[in-house]
Each structure stands twice: as C-alpha cells, then as structure tokens.
Amino acid sequence: MKKLLLLAAFFAALTVSAQDFTLTEVTSTPNVPSDRMNNRQGFGYDGEFVVLDKVLGQINFYNPADGSVEGSVETGAIASWPAVTRDEAGNIIARVDNSWPGNFMADTVIMKIFPLGGEAPIDVVGNIFADFEAENGRCDFFPFVEGNVMDEEEGGILWLVTAKSTGILKVPFLGGEIDHDHIALFPIEGAALSPTSSTVVNPYIAADGTRHYMLWTRNAQPIDLVMNETEDGFVGTTFTLPNKGATNGCFPLTFGGKDLVIYTTLPNYENAWAIAEKNAEEPIVVVPSEAGIVVNGFQSNWLNAEVVNDNKAIIYQYFPGNFFKTYELTINEPATPEYNKFYAIGTFNGWNQEEGLVELVANEDGTCYSGTIELGVNGEFKIVTPVENGFKWFGGVDDNQVGYFLITNELLDATIELVDGANFRVQDAGEYNINVVAAAKGLQEPLVMTVSKVDTGISSIGSETKADNTWYNMQGVKFNGKPSVPGIYINGGKKVVVK
C-alpha cells in the first residue's frame, strides 16, 4: 500500500465554512463504471481507498488523486459477499465465505486478515454462531473493528449485527484468530435495535474520553451505545440527525472537542452528505449531491475520517460506481478581538461609566495608549474598552485573593498583564501615568500595562499649615482657609494632600 501526501494534491472548488469548521475538497477522481461496477464496500485509510471487488474477490488500493490502482490482494473468494473493514491498528479484515444468506455457520475460512505492513494474509476459521444459532442471518457489511486483531493480549472486537439479531454479537480476536470461547451476545437496554442486513456498530472514543459505539441502521434512527456497569450489555440512546438518509455510510468523528457524525443525507441513493452533532437542529456542514452523477443501486455512500492532528482531519468519500473524493476538515481559529479605544475608570470618577472616564490616547503607530489619572490613598481603577454591549473590563491577577491587585512601589514602571481580573489599587495618593501596550498594531490581546507615578511636588502637611495660605480645590474653587475634608488641593501653587 502506498501512502499519499494529500496536501500535495490539488485543491478542488468546494469549500464550505461554518462557525467552527471549514471543509475543503482536496481530491476528486471518477470511479469509471465500466470497470468498477463490482465494487461494493470500501473505506479510506492512510491516504488511499481500500475497496473490495465483489465478483473478482480482490481488494484494490486506489490512488485518490487520479483513481489509479496502486495495488491489489486476492481474497481467494469469487462472487463473495462484499464486507471489508479495518481495525484501529490498520489491519484489513475481509469476508471470504460464499454462503447464503451469509450466516457464518460453517467451520471453514470465513474471513481473511491482511496485516498492516504487508505480511502474508491469515485465514480466519470458525462457526461464530455455533452458540447463538437463533441470531444467524444475513449480514452484508462490516463495521470498523475495535482494537488490534493481531494483538496477542488485548486483541480486537468485531461487533456483528445480522438481520435477525436481538442483540449485538461480540466476536473477539486474539493474535489473528477468533477467540471462540468468548463470543457473546450483548443485549441493548433503552433503545430498540431494529436490525437490517446492513446494520453496523462503529466504536469511537468520545470527547470526554469514554468509549462509545455508534449503531447505524438505514431504516431507523441511529443509537449511541455505552457499556453497562457489568460490561455484558449496552445502554442505548437513540438520537437524530438533520435530514438523515437511508443509505449505508456513516462514521463517528471526535474532533475539535465535539462528538460529530459524518453521515449520508436524503434523497436516496445519491452522494450528498453532512456533518452534525447528535440531536442537532441543523448540520455543521452540508455537501450537496453532485449533478450528473449516476445514482447507484448499492444503497451506499461510504464515508469515514482520519484525524491528522488537533486542527485537521481527512474525510474520505467513496461513492460506488462513480468517484472517490477526499476532503480536509479544519478548525476555524476564533477571531482575536481588536480594540481601538481605552479608558481608565475607578474611584477617581466614582466608577461612573457615563462620564469622567479618562481616555488613553494612542501613539503614532497605534501600539500604545497613554493617559494620566489622579488617585487618592488606596485608590482603585481598571482599564476598559468599548464593546458592542458596553465595556470590556481589564484588571490584574489577584494573587493575594484580597479583591484587588496592589501596585506596590516595586511594580511601578514594571510590565503588568491585563486580564479579566481584580481592580488595581495604589497605596499612595498622587498622579499616575498609565500606558496600555499591545503585541501588535490593532491592540489584539494579550495586553500589558505600565504604571508610573508623576513627580508633582506634592507634599503632605499636618496641622501646622500657615493660616494665611490660599487654598483651592482641583476645580479652582477658593476656600476660606485650610480644608478639613481629606483630599488633594492646591496650596501655595502646589498640589497638597490633606489627610
């Protein structure tokens, strides 16, 4: 199998953006009907498409960029049932028995495992319904397999559903063989199974870190499953998806902190699909049906995804008899807020948001806003900026948990980070220069502030001020003698603090 670098492929026209995600079509190639009409179940993995040819019994590996066959492996089964899947480690598991209606009831080779890495295929022998004959029935497709079927200790699990199932059959693997002693039927509580011959149960790890299983039935609502407390059955919760179709093809995807479902949509049986959260009223992303594409008779539109990193996932779409497509799903970074006005507010204006705010004036390149405020002893202030519904407030980190951030003398002229925090407080009365500085023009966060005290020549006097001095308040109103109310006044041409 050849791994392709999808990023090196051309980007097609389709780009769909939503609030949280952007979906971009990366590759699109025709799946020529004349030589591929026997293709049935398939999936994308590690940069290529893996598809089983029902008549020839071949698993073909297709290049998504040009549709060429990069390689093939023979299953040894001619006109077999079309089930093919992989486990979480990348091992491929294909059905090879030819029985009708596909009941896995013979002690013969019923599957083959093609190990990751190209080792020789392994025959899987067994009658998996020996102890559950009543559950025997037609099963056309395989789900994705939990775990690693080649592992000798933990192994893997195929969760099998037939058209006659009353529960979900647990088929465990160890070291490439079925562990027949531990095959078990898991009932479902809380939801109706409504099985068909193409019902699948796909395992996934939810955003909260717990193991879940998504049961997809074409003719009913999907079910989210978790193990019960005794781990011998499932508790199911039925959920809805907007405009869910009845076509085969779905995949649970945990991405961007959300539990998503990639699923086929109406009308049947076309190639439209969508991404949505469970029980959402509207999908996150919708990909409409492509005009001119022949509707297939296989009742399938195979979709699955592969998470590349925290910000990108690859989505694979295989529409039998028509095309292969790959898409990039990326997370939209939240817009960084930008501010172009800053004010100081505090005890100096009675915390009045309507008037008395001190505007901080921008420098020439718009990266620093400055202003001066008057504060009394233990005076407090914050920095605010206008937003749509009022002001956004910036304070400091209250390390002492006392309700304010104390700007000590040691912090004067030092860099202080502005956060959604406590009020700033100064110890001494006086005039203070405030500078709000941004990392870049446009004043995007993070923001920092420096505070420096203005040298005004203020002196503190006690009770021995000369009686014939003239006193004024800060608004220029003259007093008859020294004021008795503590505050800042003008006396002898200087600002004086009266305590």
* Start and end residues for every CATH 2.60.40.3620 domain found in the chain: 342-453
CA torsion, points 318, 324, 330, 332, in degrees to nearest 10?
A: -100
User: What DSSP designation does 332 have?
Assistant: P
Q: SS3 breakdown of the chain: % helix, strand, coil, rounded to 5? A: 5, 45, 50
Query: Which range (96-100, 307-311, 385-389, 432-436) has the least confidence?
Result: 96-100
pLDDT band at 46 (very low <50, low <70, confident <90, very high): very high
Beta-carbon-side half-sphere exposure of residue 348 (alpha carbons within 13 Å):
26
Which three-class secondary structure state does DSSP give residue 409? helix
Residue 271's pLDDT is what?
Answer: 92
Give the model's pLDDT for residue 11.
38
- Does the pLDDT value for residue 8 go beyond 70? no
The number of residues in the chain equals 499
Q: List pLDDT tens digits, range 155-199.
A: 999 999 999 999 999 999 999 999 999 999 999 999 999 999 999
Q: pLDDT of 255-268, one tens digit each? A: 999 999 999 999 98
Q: Quick one: which of 29, 49, 48, 27 has its CA closest to 40?
A: 49
Please give the Cα distance from 167 to 217 (Å, whole number): 13
In whole numbers, what is the pLDDT of the chain averaged over residues? 86
266-275 confidence digits (pLDDT tens): 998 899 999 9
pLDDT of residue 218: 86
Least confident of 48-62, 202-216, 471-485: 471-485
Phi first, then psi, for residue 150 (nearest 5°) are -90, -10
The string of pLDDT tens digits covering residues 449-475 is 999 998 765 454 444 444 445 676 655
CB 89 within 8 A of CB 74: no
The distance in angstroms from the start CA to the end CA of the chain is 85
* Predicted pLDDT at 81: 72
Q: Indicate the pLDDT class of residue 40, thresholds 50, 70 and 90.
A: confident
Q: What is the pLDDT of residue 10?
A: 36
Structure-block tokens of residue 467:
């009686």
Q: How far apart are CA 308 and CA 328, in angstroms?
A: 10
| Among candidate residues 320, 321, 436, the one with its CA nearest the CA of residue 372 | 436
Q: Give the separation between CA 452 and CA 344, rounded to whole angstroms.
A: 14
**pLDDT tens digits, residue range 327-372?**
999 998 876 566 778 999 999 999 999 889 999 998 877 778 999 9
Query: In the block, which residue shows the tokens 């990266």?
Result: 367
Is residue 443 over pLDDT 50? no
- pLDDT value of residue 354: 87
Structure confidence at residue 472 (pLDDT): 62
- CATH number for the domain whose boundaries are 342-453: 2.60.40.3620
Q: Which two tokens mark 458?
A: 């203020």
pLDDT of residue 7: 35
